[in-house]
Structures are given as C-alpha cells and as structure tokens.
Amino acid sequence: MPTDENDRLLEAAGYHYHFDRMIFVNRERKKIFSRTALEDHSVEWLQSKMSEQTKDWEFYFNEPPSDRIREAIIAELGSIEGGKRS
C-alpha cells in the first residue's frame, strides 16, 4: 500500500510518528494509526478514518489492542511533550 502518501497525509494533518510503538498519533483528534494498518489499507480508507469524529481515543490497528496496551499507550503519550519523542 502507498505508505509514503499515507505518511504525508498524516503529517499534514498534525500526526506525529512514535518510533518505539510504530504508530502515528494525533493528540488533539485522539486518534492512533498503526504502521501495519496503514500498510494493509488504502489511502481512501485512511482518509475515511481520519475524517471520523471521535470523543475518546480511537485506535486504528489491524487487531484491536488489549485494554492494557491501550492504557499503556495513552499513559505514555501523556508523558511525552506534544506526543513526540525527542
């Protein structure tokens, strides 16, 4: 799948890549996309998911992460300035 185009779309929309977790994160929109989901889906899928309205954190992974993993990622993001690794 066109991951370069996906990367550009996400970065233009304010997403940041978290290298340790291999995810794109947007703290304002409360959305997280995994690298593997982006590789397995089309640009149209990404655009559709990016436009969805969410109130709580939404994870776009191939397999839904466990509650423990979700909580760990959210907690970790809270401790990283702006959702970015230095």
Give the domain extent around 12.
3-83
User: What's the predicted TM-score (pTM) here?
Assistant: 0.86
Q: Which amino acid is at 78?
A: G
Q: How many CB atoms lie within 10 A of CB 11?
A: 12
Number of domains forming the structure of the chain:
1
pLDDT tens-digit series, residues 14-37: 999 999 999 999 999 999 999 999
In angstroms, rounded to a whole number, what is the distance separating the alpha carbons of residues 33 and 26? 9
Report pLDDT digits (tens) over 47-61: 999 999 999 999 999
* H runs (alpha helix) in 1-86: 3-12, 35-40, 43-51, 67-78
DSSP 56-79: S-EEE-SSPPPHHHHHHHHHHHHT
